[in-house]
Amino acid sequence: MSTALLVTYVWPPTGGVGAGRVLKLAKYLPSHGVRPSVLTVENPSVPLRDEGSLKQVPAGIEVLRARTFEPSYATKQATWQASSGATPAATSLKKRVIGQVGALARHVLIPDPQLLWQPDLQRVLAKRLFSKDADDVVFLTAPPFSMFLASPLIRAANKSALVLDYRDEWITVRSHYEMIGGLSRYLGGPLEHAMLRCAHMITIATDAFRENLLHHFPFLDPARVVTIENGFDSDDYPSSLPDPPSDRFVITYAGSIIVQNSPRGFLAGVKLLHEREPELAKLLEAVFIGRVVDTELVHFEGTEKLGVKRIGFIDRDKVMPAMAASHMLLCTLDEMPGAERIYPAKIFEIMYLDRPCLTLAPEGALTQLARELHLGPVAPPRDAPAIATLLESALRAFKDGKYVARAGAVGIERFDRRAQAGRFADVFREAKKIARGRAD
């Protein structure tokens, strides 16, 4: 059996959808002839913890840990707010100093604050690479993209094949992600180029990501860049799930709200619906489950009276029942560069639940997927009139007893995590063959 070391910043009990890709890979690789181990952060500086996710960690798996020198997430958040002037308190001397430190950090910590994990990560990784326990493959999954800075060490050890995994695009993240800025926008490109030169194989989450990567880095061999999407695991779903209520129409969004997937257009559509059809709109309950970053809170102001509820972060084992107890689910990507190449990870859980999904996104990978699989209605993310019309249509059908809370999705089998682990195993074997042949 081959061995693979999965190096990841996101691992239970860290919450959020980012942990799912590598967690499911660890779970299902053994059935495809690969024994995984994990190297992760001992003290992650993250906004969310999901203690329930620890139950999904495969029994007996080896988990190595390295410490990060990052401050707590609360400290990082306060520093970012002060450096951007996002809080009136930034006018005090203490806050101005904090803000200056934050601004400096944004320029120095390239490509991201998790750069402060690299010293101990590389220490632990080097110990592994230069031992008798060196793995056949080392798999670095990002973001954070500072993960990839371990690539030269892996190549220097000359014992393990290197696979780089893109859950998102580095080029988009460094330009537009809410917490990244400064010199990263200028140095990120050369850094990415250098790290890609180290890789034996590359996996990437969408075909659109793949095409964009090959366009920006034409030296890459297309045969070594493989699309493996995110997916769903049927084991995550209880055998019995609740049905939606009969006295109101519930539409639910589950996941973090950041700039990239702002619901501003949806909330504007809800407001417009209440102006157009106030009595019908009273049937609507819009539920948001998960963290909402400060920049997006303004869009929720005054929406409570319109039936909008913000629940906040809850453990994963409670999310699925809440999604199932909905007539419709919401998946949204806002208008911003790169959005046309993204699949939000939550779309795969939605397709397995088979509830109709209202997809609000620019034309691109997500809208194409929603139409191809018959997941539900699609509209531009900021087209409030179109969104209001779609909601009105669903509410009228619900009121008349004609609404069907099943999407009838087709062709979703290829997104099963079990099958996807087999594709990763094939990539690992190919990377191992390339590394042993020293073909570069």
In the predicted structure, residue 376 carries a pLDDT above the cut 50: yes
Q: For the chain, what is the mean pLDDT?
A: 89
Q: 322 — phi, psi (to 5°)?
A: -65, -40
pTM greater than 0.75 (yes/no) = yes
pLDDT at site 112: 86
pLDDT at site 182: 56
- Both tokens assigned to 368: 């194409």
In the predicted structure, residue 347 carries a pLDDT above the cut 70: yes
- The single residue listed with the structure tokens 């995984």 is 36
- List pLDDT tens digits, range 217-229: 999 999 999 999 9
Spell out where 67-147 has E strands.
137-142
- List pLDDT tens digits, range 419-440: 999 999 999 999 999 998 854 4
Q: Which domains does the chain have, with CATH numbers?
A: 2-71+111-231+416-437 (3.40.50.2000), 235-413 (3.40.50.2000)
- List pLDDT tens digits, range 2-16: 999 999 999 998 866
pLDDT at site 80: 54
Distance CA 294, CA 160 (A): 42
Query: Which of 67-71, 105-109, 398-402 is predicted with the least confidence, judged by mean pLDDT?
Result: 105-109
CB count within 10 Å of CB 62 equals 12
Residues 314-318, mean pLDDT to the nearest whole number: 81
Question: How much of the chain, in percent, has pLDDT values that exceed 70?
Answer: 88
Q: If pLDDT is split at 50, 70 and 90, which confidence band does 337 have? A: confident
pLDDT at site 180: 45
Pick the closest to residue 345 from 321, 312, 324, 369 (CA basis).
Answer: 369
What is 357-396 written as a DSSP string? EEEE--TTHHHHHHHHTT---EE-TT-HHHHHHHHHHHHH
Q: Which position has the higher pLDDT, 22 or 18?
A: 22
Q: If pLDDT is split at 50, 70 and 90, which confidence band does 28 have? A: very high
Query: Which of 67-81, 137-151, 240-254, 377-391 is predicted with the least confidence, judged by mean pLDDT?
Result: 67-81
In the predicted structure, residue 208 carries a pLDDT above the cut 60: yes
pLDDT at site 161: 98
In degrees, rounded to 5, the angle at the alpha carbon of residue 353 between the alpha carbons of residues 352 and 358 is: 100
pLDDT at site 239: 82
Residue type, 339: A
Q: Report CA 14 to chain centroid distance, whole Å.
A: 13
- List pLDDT tens digits, range 127-185: 999 999 899 999 999 999 999 999 999 999 999 999 999 999 988 776 654 444 456 66
pLDDT at site 176: 52
- List pLDDT tens digits, range 392-418: 999 999 999 999 999 999 999 999 999
- List pLDDT tens digits, range 286-302: 999 999 998 899 999 99
Question: How much of the chain, in percent, has pLDDT values that exceed 90?
Answer: 69
pLDDT at site 52: 73
- The single residue listed with the structure tokens 């790169």 is 338
